[in-house]
């Protein structure tokens, strides 16, 4: 149903029109760009949102040229939560509805500096508070329509607290739990909520970090994300083998785990 337009009746009895448009939040990241391209290749119109409007303009022109779909863009600040409701409504009006949303923004920050909570607070605000805010508006839009999907990009870092990135991991872990609760809430409405947990991906965020291994390309991650609404999985580890890596890490007993340099 994602590739056709449907007329759907909300709980208030007013017909609303859902298009095949997908909103990409945090659209200037490497994973987001690849995901937008993968959805565009499937015929979806795309709305790109982030703070860097100049970069959005370039990405929009490239996707339109490559795939011939409608691509629009606009400014979005994850931390400006007071603007989120009006932002989403403007996107819905401009695109004449949405079939899905991909939340792809995040901020790793300097984890050593995050011992200062003024730094850690930005990591939490970017990765969790802002995400929970905009997704609450998205959920309230899709629920009465009884259609649609929400894809949230979390991280394997949220599966267990490690000294190297525990602030970032805590924020992503909170996002994963939020998505799980949202999935439980929206299940009866037929709205898909999918949690994506990438491992190491070749992006600007991970460039130069020590200890990286089995690094995936943004293109392979984006392609899997675009396929997710048509699959049954609620939680995707990308690439797939991270599910088993994290299963092992999660089952290391705490008396041993706290002694590890991870």
pLDDT in tens, the chain (262 residues): 333 333 333 333 323 334 799 999 999 999 999 999 999 999 999 999 999 999 999 999 999 999 999 999 999 999 999 999 999 999 999 999 999 999 999 998 877 766 788 889 999 999 999 999 999 999 999 999 999 999 999 999 999 999 988 999 999 999 999 999 999 999 999 999 999 999 987 665 544 445 555 668 999 999 999 999 999 999 999 999 999 999 999 999 999 999 998 8
Going by the DSSP 8-state scheme, the letter that residue 129 receives in this structure is: I
Whether the full predicted model's pTM is greater than 0.85, yes or no, is yes
Rounded to a whole number of angstroms, the distance between the first and last alpha carbons of the chain is: 44
User: Which pair of structure tokens corresponds to residue 205?
Assistant: 């965020």
CB atoms within 10 A of CB 163: 11
- Edge-to-edge, what's the strand order for the sheet holding 71-75? 71-75, 46-50, 22-25, 100-103, 149-153, 192-198, 235-238
Q: Helix 130-145 crosses helix 166-186 at what angle (to 10 degrees)?
A: 10
Place of tokens 């706290």: 258
Q: How far apart are CA 29 and CA 244, in angstroms?
A: 26
Is residue 160 classed as helix, strand or coil in its secondary structure? coil
CA 162 to chain centre: 22
């Amino acid at each position: 149903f994602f590739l056709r337009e449907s007329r759907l009746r909300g709980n208030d009895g007013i017909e609303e029109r859902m298009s095949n448009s997908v909103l990409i939040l945090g659209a200037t990241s490497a994973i987001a760009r690849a995901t937008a391209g993968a959805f565009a290749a499937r015929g979806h119109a795309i709305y790109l949102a982030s703070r860097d409007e100049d970069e959005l303009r370039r990405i929009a022109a490239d996707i339109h040229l490559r795939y011939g779909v409608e691509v629009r863009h606009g400014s979005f600040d994850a931390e400006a939560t007071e603007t989120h409701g009006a932002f989403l409504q403007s996107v819905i009006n401009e695109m004449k509805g949405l079939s899905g949303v991909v939340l792809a923004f995040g901020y790793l920050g300097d984890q050593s500096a995050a011992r200062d909570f003024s730094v850690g607070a930005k990591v939490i605000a970017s990765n969790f508070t802002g995400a929970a805010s905009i997704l609450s508006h998205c959920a309230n839009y899709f629920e009465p329509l009884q259609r649609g999907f929400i894809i949230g990009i979390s991280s394997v870092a949220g599966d267990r607290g490690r000294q190297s990135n525990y602030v970032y991991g805590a924020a992503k872990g909170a996002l994963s739990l939020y998505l799980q609760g949202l999935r439980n809430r929206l299940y009866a409405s037929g709205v898909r909520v999918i949690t994506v947990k990438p491992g190491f991906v070749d992006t600007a965020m991970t460039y130069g970090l020590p200890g990286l291994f089995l690094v995936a390309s943004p293109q392979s991650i984006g392609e899997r994300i675009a396929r997710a609404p048509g699959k049954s999985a609620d939680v995707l580890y990308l690439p797939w083998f991270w599910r088993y890596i994290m299963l092992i890490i999660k089952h290391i007993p705490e008396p041993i785990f706290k002694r590890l340099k991870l």
